[in-house]
């Protein structure tokens, strides 16, 4: 199975409950952005330009937990900004787990090993010495780290469990990824974090945005490598020229957004092999959304199923567009004129939506049976319940370190030690 049985049943029972109650709109996933401070400023990221990145401008822990209760989504994706900068991230994860939610912690990976080492220190005993030796020999921890781990700690930490995933942002192999995040060394650190997390028994996923320049062969090789090192699943979504990202690209980088982002036609060209990939890799998302991406069907957007909350309030209408923010989830649902936004199978309601095919707008449509066709439920069920694709052997021969690690820098002028 791509998703563990308990996780799948939790989401399925939430959908069935609301279908029986005939709830017109309900949340499947909450995008929780507790802060917009980040240790990167990636090309195309609207968030760190659209909102204040001051560390003091953040949601309180109580406000985060209340937001999750308000919308009651079974799954919460903690994003931002960089959530590992959030001072109460451990307590936030613990609080969401106590609410019995599935928790995704989205991170660029820079601070991941730091958090994992804190976890190791919290459970340290002499029985861990052989693990420490192995991790040291694989360059995943240093001698200095080992000394700190042996001292132990009583801090709150994030622990491996069946309801939590680390979700690491990786857009491509090293050279391209570091160019997109505008800092060399980030890819290498993120991959070390993934390997350490897997060695410690965590569930790990990756998320990738495909841009116009993305070399899909390169991305396929990256997925082969990630499968080989044990990553549990991948979310892959087409890049879309939403307002904030577009403005940043034009103003700061002097680039034409059209050279970077994908039109619908270009998305379908890029994703033409996606269903083959789905057999080879553990790609998350419904079979129906995959058919939409490859151009076999149209779908209407269901942005309301994945609401986004930020320190400024609930983004309306969606993760991409923010025409306004509402103080409560109830107001977001009731005051947003949903008929004004999105794309249906027959019309483009808002010209800004015309090229949007993003995961958070359309994957829920596949799960909720919007524009459903006979056999859709079976397709979705089969994709999720069939065995997870086996570890990809080709990955053993892939070397994704084709950038700064191979002396092939691109002179962003920045590196990960800065
Ligand atoms: S790591 Fe994420 S939040 Fe930070 S700049 Fe990059 S895309 Fe934006
Ligand atoms: S199509 Fe939906 S998810 Fe995409 S920008 Fe429009 S409202 Fe948002």
CA of 168 to the centre of ligand 2 (A): 23
Atom of ligand 1 nearest to the CA of 46: 8
**DSSP secondary structure string for all residues of 282-341:** -B-S-HHHHHHHHTS------GGGS-EEETTEEEEE-SS-EEEEESSHHHHHHHS-GGGS
- Identify which ligand lies nearest to the alpha carbon of 169: 1
Closest Cα to residue 44, out of 248, 236, 256, 183? 248
**Whole-prediction pTM value?**
0.94
Q: Which tokens is 306 given?
A: 């994945």
The whole-angstrom separation of Cα 356 and Cα 375 is 25
Q: Which pLDDT score is estimated for 409?
A: 81
| Selection from 66, 69, 92 nearest residue 81 by Cα | 92
Name the β-bridge partners of 209: 237
Non-local CB neighbours of 383 within 8 Å, separated by 6+ positions: 2, 278, 286, 287, 290
Determine whether the shortest distance from the Cβ of 65 to ligand 2 is under 6 A: no
Sequence-ordered alpha helix ranges (H) in 172-328: 174-180, 186-199, 216-228, 243-253, 264-270, 274-280, 287-294
Q: Tell me which residues have their CB closer than 6 angstroms to ligand 1.
A: 38, 40-42, 45, 47-48, 80-82, 108, 169, 181
Tokens of 338: 């949903």
Nearest atom, ligand 2, residue 317 CA: 7
Strands 164-169 and 102-107: parallel
List CB contacts of 61: < 8 A, sequence separation 6 or more.
88, 91, 92, 95
Is residue 84 a contact partner of residue 157, using CB atoms and an 8 Å limit?
no
Q: How far is the CA of 66 from the centre of ligand 1 (A)?
A: 25
Element (H, E) at 102: strand 102-107
- Check if the beta carbon of residue 292 is closer than 8 Å to that of residue 298: yes
| Structure tokens, 418 | 């800065």
Q: Are 32 and 78 in contact (CB under 8 A)?
A: yes
CA of 180 to the centre of ligand 1 (A): 10
Per-residue pLDDT of the chain (418 residues; tens, 9 = 90+): 777 888 989 999 999 999 999 999 999 999 999 999 999 988 878 888 889 889 999 999 999 999 999 999 999 999 999 999 999 999 999 999 999 999 999 999 999 999 999 999 999 999 999 999 999 999 999 999 999 999 999 999 999 999 999 999 999 999 999 999 999 999 999 999 999 999 999 999 999 999 888 999 999 999 999 999 999 999 999 987 666 666 666 666 666 666 667 889 999 999 999 999 999 999 999 999 999 999 999 999 999 999 999 999 999 999 999 999 999 999 999 999 999 999 888 899 999 998 999 999 999 999 999 999 999 989 988 888 888 999 999 999 999 999 999 998 876 545 555 4
Residue 348, beta-bridge partner list: 343
Q: Which pLDDT value is given to residue 405?
A: 93
| Pairing of β 203-210 and β 313-317 | unpaired
Cα–Cα dist 112/194, whole Å: 8
* pLDDT score of 3: 76
**Per-residue model confidence (pLDDT) at position 312:** 96
Domains defined for the chain, CATH in brackets: 5-406 (3.20.20)
361 lines ligand 2 (CB under 6 A): yes
* Gap from CA of 60 to ligand 2 centroid (Å): 28
Which of 320, 346, 352, 359 best tests ligand 2's pocket when mutated (most atoms within 8 Å of CB)? 320
Among residues 365, 302, 358, which one has the least CA distance to residue 333?
302
Question: Pairing relation of β-strands 75-78 and 203-210?
Answer: unpaired
Between the CA of 224 and the centroid of ligand 2 the distance, in Å, is 31
33, 42, 111, best to mutate for ligand 1 pocket (most atoms within 8 Å of CB): 42
> How far is residue 102 from each of residues 1, 19, 78, 197, 412, measured CA to CA in Å?
16, 21, 11, 18, 37
Which ligand places an atom closest to the C-alpha of 292? 2
**Which ligand 2 atom is the nearest neighbour of the CA of 357?**
4
- Which residue has tokens 């089969």? 382
Mutate to test the pocket of ligand 2, among 356, 364, 370 (most ligand atoms within 8 A of CB): 356
Per-residue burial over 190-219, b if 16 or more Cβ lie within 10 Å, else e, is bbbbbbbbbbbebbbbbbbbbbbebebeeb
CA of 17 to the centre of ligand 1 (A): 35
Residue 369: left if φ>0, alpha if ψ -120 to 50, beta else—which one?
A: left
The residue contributing the CA closest to ligand 2 atom 7 is 342
């Amino acid at each position: 199975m791509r998703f563990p049985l308990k996780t799948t049943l939790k989401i399925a029972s939430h959908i069935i409950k609301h279908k029986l109650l005939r709830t017109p709109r309900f949340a499947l996933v909450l995008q929780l952005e507790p802060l917009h401070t980040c240790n990167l400023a990636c090309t195309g990221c609207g968030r760190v330009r659209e909102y204040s990145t001051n560390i003091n401008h953040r949601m309180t822990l109580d406000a985060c937990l209340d937001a999750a209760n308000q919308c009651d989504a079974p799954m919460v994706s903690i994003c931002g900004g960089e959530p590992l900068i959030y001072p109460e991230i451990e307590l936030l994860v613990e609080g969401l787990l106590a609410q019995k939610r599935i928790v995704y912690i989205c991170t660029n990976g820079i601070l991941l090993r730091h958090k994992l080492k804190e976890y190791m220190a919290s459970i340290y005993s002499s029985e861990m010495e052989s693990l420490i030796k192995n991790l040291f020999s694989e360059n995943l921890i240093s001698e200095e780290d080992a000394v700190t781990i042996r001292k132990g700690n009583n801090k709150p930490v994030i622990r491996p469990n069946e309801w939590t995933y680390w979700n690491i942002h990786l857009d491509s192999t090293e050279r391209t990824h570091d160019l997109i995040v505008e800092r060399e060394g980030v890819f290498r650190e993120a991959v070390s974090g993934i390997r350490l997390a897997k060695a410690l028994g965590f569930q790990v996923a990756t998320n990738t945005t495909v841009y116009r320049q993305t070399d899909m062969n390169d991305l396929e090789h990256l997925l082969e490598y990630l499968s080989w090192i044990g990553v549990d699943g991948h979310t892959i979504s087409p890049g879309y020229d939403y307002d904030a990202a577009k403005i940043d690209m034009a103003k700061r980088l002097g680039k034409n957004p059209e050279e970077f982002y994908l039109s619908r036609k270009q998305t379908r060209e890029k994703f033409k092999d996606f269903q083959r990939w789905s057999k080879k890799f553990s790609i998350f998302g419904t079979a129906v959304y995959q058919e939409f991406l490859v151009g076999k069907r149209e779908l209407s957007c269901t942005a309301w199923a994945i609401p986004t909350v930020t320190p400024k309030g609930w983004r309306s209408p969606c993760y991409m567009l923010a025409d306004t923010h509402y103080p409560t989830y109830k107001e977001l649902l009731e005051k947003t004129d949903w008929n004004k936004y999105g794309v249906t199978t027959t019309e483009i309601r808002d010209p800004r939506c015309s090229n949007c095919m993003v995961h958070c707008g359309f994957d829920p449509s596949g799960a909720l049976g919007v524009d459903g066709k006979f056999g859709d439920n079976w397709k979705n069920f089969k994709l999720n319940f069939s065995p997870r694709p086996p570890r990809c052997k080709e990955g053993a021969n892939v070397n994704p370190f084709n950038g700064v690690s191979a002396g092939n820098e691109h002179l962003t002028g920045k590196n990960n030690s800065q």
